[in-house]
Each structure stands twice: as structure tokens, then as C-alpha cells.
A and B are shown apart, each in its own frame.
Chain A
Amino acid sequence: MATDTSDSLITTDVSSTETGRGKVPDETVVASSNLDVYYGTDQALEDVSIEIPEHKVTAIIGPSGCGKSTFLRCINRMNDQIPACTVDGELRFHSTDVYDEAVDPVALRRKIGMVFQKPNPFPKSIYDNVAYGLRVQGKAVTDEIVEEALRGAALWDEVSDQLEESGLELSGGQQQRLCIARAIAPDPEVILMDEPASALDPVATSKIEDLIADLADEYTVVIVTHNMQQAARISDKTAVFLTGGRLVEFDDTQKVFENPQHQRVEDYITGKFG
């Protein structure tokens, strides 16, 4: 089953027929080549090369410890927070090398928003949570922008009359959508999501999934998930990382799930391991 990796890893000219997005050729937003990441002496990612297309949902799946979250945190340099983490190889955001010394990670994160596994709203009002990014980035805060972000996160109807209440008083699913609103309010280009629904109940999860599909109209979404059905439902592209931090397969989601090129990927997807 396994074929030569060089021609199956990156195939950006075929788009998913299911979501109907991207009839035009894809523009690459984030691209890595030969990316290696180490935590101290442990290698977390090995030789990862990938091109993530614009205005698509790219899902990253794989078993625990395969480096999928590590890869996500490389894109906006949140790995900088871990002192032992070192990055080798190239990671580009458009044409800029993210790990160039001249790149300010704060400026990078203003272009690339992030939503975490566990909802982490600030102990502030709902309004201030959403306005936070605008304030720290020195952008004007208007009620319209806050409303738009909350609508974008499918939360407006539920909280429009309690904007001054604490974000911590919302339910888990609402908190996560508040975090999404916080991420999109400053209007980034890319939104990274690190297992955004794994701490939520099924109803909240399906709301988040619906939302992700809508987000791709305006943003490039990269989502890490351990839930293969979720990846199959919501993504246009799927990247499969396997143990050892290797990217084994990256293609249109339909192809990856229906006709994977690698035996190990097929075994993983059909639940033989992982």
C-alpha cells in the first residue's frame, strides 16, 4: 500500500468536494519544510513538510504523543514559552520565516489566533474578554466589533444581554465559543485550534464543529483533533501524524479517509492502533 512519500504528501490542487470550498487553486498560508522540533534531547517532530492552504479547514490527526499539538504551537511560536524547546528547519507564514530572528512573536500571534483545548476565558466580563485582543493590539474597541466577533462565534444570541457578566459564569461550551470570539475579534488570518472540543459535551461539540465550518469562509483554520470522525466531518485537508513526530500523510480529507496511501495510516484510521 505504501507508496513513495514525495508525491503523496503534498497535493494542493485537488479540493474537497464535500464542503464546496476552494474551487480556485489554493494559496498556501503556512508552509513548513524539514521541520524538526526537540524538547531537550527528545525529538517531538521529525522532518515535517506541509503546505496549509488558505481559507480551508486543515485537520491534524494522530495518536497521543505524535507531535500534532507541538506542530500547531510552532506555527504561532507558543513553543517559545517552553525553554527546552528548539526548532530546526523552516516554517513559513506567507513568505516570512517564522523563526527568523527578526520576527517578533507578538506580531506573529496578532496574525495567527489560537483556541486551546481547555476553555480559558479571562476572569473579566464577556465584553472585556472579546475586546482583549483589540486592546492589547492597540486597535479601537467598538460595540460593533465585539458584537460581530460574538456573532462570528455563534454566541451573540445567548449572551447579548449579559455582556457585563463574567466570562467564567458561562457553560464550558459557551466559554469555548467566547475564546473563539476572543481569537477572531482582532481579525487574524489564521486560527489555530488545539482539540477545541475535547473538553466539551456532544451538544457543545457539534456547535463548535458547525462554527468551524463557517470560520473557514474568512479564516484559515488549522485544527488538531484526536477525534477522527470530527476531522472527517469538518476538514478539507487532513494531515496524519504518527508516532515519532512524522507527518505520514497529507491530502484532501476525503482521500485520506477513503483511500489512504499508507498502510499505517489506514490501520490508524480504521482503529487498528492509536
Chain B
Amino acid sequence: MSLGTDQLKNELLDTGMTVDDIKNRVFVWVILAASLLGVVALALLIVDVIYEAYIGYREFDIRPAQFLTQSGSRTPSQAGFLAAMVATAWLMVLTAALAFFVGVGSAIYLEEYAPDNRITRLIEANLSNLAGVPSIVYGLLVLAAIVNGIGLGPILLSGAIALALLIMPIIIVSAQEALRAVPDSVRNGSLATGATQWQTIRRVVLPSAMPGILTGTILALARAVGETAPLIMVGALFTARAPPGPLNRFSAMPTQIYTWAAEPSQHFIHLAAAGIVVLLVVMLTMNGVAIYLRNKFETEV
């Protein structure tokens, strides 16, 4: 047996650019450009917003220290973002509290207890549908059922209910995925050691799934933090002062930005730009925490 005949050598030699080689390279560039489009768009957006906020600082004297410590005002030079930030903090806490337990509870039922029958499949199919419902519809629902229906009024709690309904399907689906990722061998090990099903879930399954559940919840909250439409429907518009509690009227960060952006005065529009910077920082921080959590626990398991 002779190694490497001349014919084989010729086949292996690089014969220069063929049409297929060119197609190959062009295609790589095309899909690379496609994937960069999103990054470029985000970069442009951030640059634009920061630039507008900078103009606000130069021309209208919007200083971060005042902007972050003053509440709303009809006078642009007196207006700040504090009331909206406090309201958003309230909203996030209430939304998380409302959506987390119901969402994780549903996920546990669907993954660990529910028999594989028609009702279960119906629930799961509808969860995917719910996740795709436009957010304004949740606002309308809460407006009809909660704000007017039971007469709760356009208060912070109503807004939190709307946001909780909005993100609940996302939390359920991500919690289901986290529970599904826990291997059955671990469940069997627990059951065979004499644990009840609830002990198995409580002591073994949930702790293993918790990083995934938390990541999904934070990502869902990061989506809720920027939601404007449902809050407008619920009745969150301009208020001058920070809401002292969940039963007060409010305007959150996105609705405050919306109100400012709709003003004719350039001063208000640049206040909106400054508000967007704060909102983006909060949102990106939440996403960052979620990604950090996911990577941390992924490498551990």
C-alpha cells in the first residue's frame, strides 16, 4: 500500500477560489451583518438617548442630582424623576410578589403533579397564547375588572395586577423549563429514600430549579419595568408626588417618560431623555443580574 498517490495529492491541494468558495464567504458575511444589526440598533439607540440627555444637561440644566431627587412638577425646571422611580420600585415589588408565587405554583402543578390529559394540555396551550397577548389587553382587562369593576381605582396596586398578569405566563413557562431540567433520577432518589412528593419537590427539586426560576422571573420583571401601555390603561399618568403606598395614585418611570415626551416644551422632552437613560440603566442591570445568575449556577451544575 503506497501512501498518497499523485491523484489523491491533487485532490487535497487548494485549487484557489471556486464559485462555491465565494458563496461560502459571502454567506458568512451576510449572516454576520444580520446578527450585528440588532447590536448596532441598540448602540445607536443608547448613543442617541445619552446625547439627548446631554443636550438637556447643557441647554436646560437638567442635573442628575436634582433629576433623581425631585418629584414631578408642571414647571420643567422643578421636575424630577423621583416620584416615578419610587412608584416603579413599588410596582416591581408588588408585581413580583403577585406573579412569582402564582406563577411558580402553576409551574410546579403542571410539571410535577398534573396528569398528562386533555385539561393539562389545554392549560399549557393557553399559557403560550397568554404569553402572546398584547400588553394593552391586560391593561384593558384590569381597567374593566379591577379599576372600575370592583372599584379599586387607578392606584398602584391596580397597575401591579396588570403587570403581574402580563408576566405570569412568562414566569410559568420559564419555571416549567427550570423544573424540567432537574433530572428524574434525583426525584426517584428522593422518593426511594422515603420522601413524600412534596418533600421531594421542596427539598430537592425546587432548590435545584431555583436559579433558573429566579433568572426567568428577573427577565420577566425587566420586561414589566418598561411596560407603558397597560399602566396608561389603568390610569397612571402625571402625578407630582411619590406614592406613599400601594393604594395611592401613581405614575411609573415609563408613563412619566411618556407624559414628558408628549409635552410641547423642549425642556420636558429632554427630561424624557434623561428618564429613558435611567430606565435603560435599570433594565440592563436587571438583565445583567439574570445573566450573571444563570452563568453562575450553570457552571456549578
Contacts and interface: CB of A to CB of B under 8 A. Distances in A.
The answer to whether A and B interact is yes
Interface of A: 76, 78, 81, 83, 106-107, 109-110, 113-114, 116, 118, 120-124, 132-133, 135-137, 168, 179, 182-183, 186
A22 to B, nearest CB: 26
Given A76-B192, A106-B195, A121-B189, 9 more contacts: A78-B192, A83-B116, A116-B185, A120-B186, A120-B189, A123-B186, A132-B193, A136-B190, A182-B193
A109 B186 contact: no
Interface stretch (B91-99, B199-207, B218-226): B199-207
Contacts of A110: 194
B196 A118 contact: no
Report which residue of A110, A122, A183 has the largest number of chain B beta carbons within 10 angstroms of its beta carbon.
A122
B208 to A, nearest CB: 6
A78 B194 contact: no
Interface in B157-197: 183, 185-186, 188-196
Nearest to B184: A81
Chain B contact residues: helix, strand, loop or mixed: helix
B191 A81 contact: yes
A81 B187 CA distance: 10
A122 B204 contact: yes
Nearest to A139: B194
B115 interface: yes
B70 to A, nearest CB: 49
A116 B203 CA distance: 20
A109 B115 contact: no
Contact of B203 (A109, A113, A118, A136): A136
Contact of B193 (A81, A113, A168): A113
A186 B207 CA distance: 23
B190 A122 contact: yes
Contact of B191 (A78, A107, A121): A78
A183 B195 CA distance: 12
Report which residue of A122, A132, A136 has the largest number of chain B beta carbons within 10 angstroms of its beta carbon.
A136
B210 to A, nearest CB: 11
Nearest to A185: B193
Given A123-B301, A136-B199, A116 B194 contact: no
B188 A116 contact: yes
Given A83-B115, A136-B196, A120 B185 contact: yes
A120 B188 contact: yes
Interface in B206-243: 207-208
A132 B204 CA distance: 10
Contacts of A186: 193-194
Contact of A132 (B115, B190, B196): B190
Nearest to A114: B192
Contacts of B195: 106, 132-133, 136
A109 B193 contact: yes
Q: Which 5 A-B pairs have the closest CB atoms?
A: A110-B194, A114-B192, A136-B195, A120-B185, A120-B189
A122 B186 contact: yes
Nearest to A117: B185
A113 B190 contact: no
Contacts of B188: 78, 81, 116, 120
17 contacts: A78-B188, A78-B191, A81-B188, A81-B191, A106-B191, A106-B195, A109-B193, A113-B194, A116-B185, A116-B188, A118-B185, A122-B189, A123-B208, A132-B193, A136-B203, A179-B189, A186-B194
A136 B192 contact: no
B206 to A, nearest CB: 12
Nearest to B200: A136
Contacts of A132: 190, 193, 195, 203
Contacts of A78: 188, 191-192
Contacts of B189: 116, 120-122, 179, 182
A113 B196 contact: no
B185 A109 contact: no
Given A83-B116, A123-B301, A136-B199, A113 B204 contact: no
Contacts of B191: 78, 81, 106, 109
Contacts of B199: 136
Nearest to A132: B193
Contact of A137 (B194, B204, B301): B194
Contact of B196 (A106, A114, A168): A106
A186 B192 CA distance: 12
Contacts of B301: 123, 168
B198 to A, nearest CB: 10
A109 B195 CA distance: 8
Nearest to A188: B194
Contacts of A183: 192-193
